[in-house]
Amino acid sequence: MLPPLARGARGGEKPPRLPPVTPRLTAGFWVAAYLTRLRLANIPAFVVRRGDDTAGAVMVKQSPLDGTARLFQRQFDPLAETRRWIEVAQGPEAEVDARLQRERTRDPDLWVIEVEDRGGRTLLEEDGFEG
């Protein structure tokens, strides 16, 4: 016979259900897929900094080639229980680059991708890029 805790919480009650685990892609796989989608859309993009292949965070810098830039980062939305891309910086490219440098100093596993498109496209709003 199993001890009470092995059978469940408090004398035979069922243990609480945990939320389902959503499988996530490794950072390296996600980056490769993202670069492929950008290439297929004829949008130039480059890995500026390679992070940890399995668990590195990813930031995307979008440059419309006019001296300005925008910086995007994935964040978990607890209300929707999903991950989504948010804009974390916008302005002169030098200021966005300074923000990126601070992030890189804090997180050695960080991936940085630079997307260069005069129209400001990143494709981050498309299906498949949220997680």
The residues spanned by each domain of the chain are 23-116
**For domain 23-116, which CATH number applies: 3.40.1530.20, 3.90.230.10, 3.90.550.10, 3.40.50.970?**
3.40.1530.20
* Dihedrals phi, psi of 91, to nearest 5 degrees: 150, -155
User: What's the pLDDT tens digit per position in 52-102?
Assistant: 998 889 999 999 999 999 999 988 877 877 778 999 999 999 999 999 999
pLDDT at 63: 97
Distances (CA, A) of 76 to 44, 50, 86, 91, 93: 27, 22, 10, 24, 26
User: What's the pLDDT tens digit per position in 91-117?
Assistant: 999 999 999 999 999 999 999 999 999
Cα maximum dimension of the chain: 72
Assess contact for 63 and 93: CB atoms under 8 A: yes
